[in-house]
Chains A and B, each alone.
Chain A
Amino acid sequence: AQKITQTQPGMFVQEKEAVTLDCTYDTSDPSYGLFWYKQPSSGEMIFLIYQGSYDQQNATEGRYSLNFQKARKSANLVISASQLGDSAMYFCAMTVRTGTALIFGKGTTLSVSS
């Protein structure tokens, strides 16, 4: 069975600092994709970044990067230069093989202060 674990219920960071949100995954399938979504207080789900299991390089999207360590089965999200607008819930998710269901972790709440 596939599983996503996010061990940090809440994280606190000051503006302009970098922050790492942890995500570990468990699957025996060699083909999988890893996603990060942001959910602000308004409730919508915003796609941030994707990493495929066969991708050789870590994914980056602007201030977001995914620290993919395959042997450790971790896919941590790194946000550089945090902004107040980054305050939100962040979900790590995984899809395997044919990419039907997204399996979500329980989320990490990030609070950015000035």
Chain B
Amino acid sequence: EAQVTQNPRYLITVTGKKLTVTCSQNMNHEYMSWYRQDPGLGLRQIYYSMNVEVTDKGDVPEGYKVSRKEKRNFPLILESPSPNQTSLYFCASSLGTGTLYNEQFFGPGTRLTVL
């Protein structure tokens, strides 16, 4: 089944404790992206990757890191989480750029709480 998976689905952590949220897709997609969703703000892009070893900042990159060492994986790293990073996080993937019909397939979401 074609899908985007994220782990963990739920995480409660404390300020300053490094964490990684994994994202994997099995559709051989070039493009992957991370979004965060906050009430009243919709979804905002954190980072994106257009291919292996190619990553770039989205609208709200502060406090996050990403890497794309393999095509299928795109982990999100919070080196020193803070309470303002409490949010619902989505990973998404799509075939790639060059077309407007770039339907993005979303993972199930990771609900992160930073105390």
Contact = CB atoms under 8 A, between A and B. Distances in A.
Interface of A: 4, 31-33, 35, 37, 43-45, 47, 50, 52-53, 91, 93, 95-102, 104-107
Contacts of B97: 98-100
Given A35-B103, A99-B97, A44 B42 contact: no
Contacts, number: 69
Given A4-B42, A100-B97, 19 more contacts: A33-B102, A37-B106, A43-B111, A44-B108, A45-B90, A45-B92, A52-B101, A53-B100, A96-B100, A99-B94, A100-B31, A100-B50, A101-B33, A101-B59, A102-B43, A102-B92, A104-B44, A105-B42, A106-B42
A61 B112 CA distance: 34
Interface in B12-54: 31, 33, 35, 40-45, 48, 50
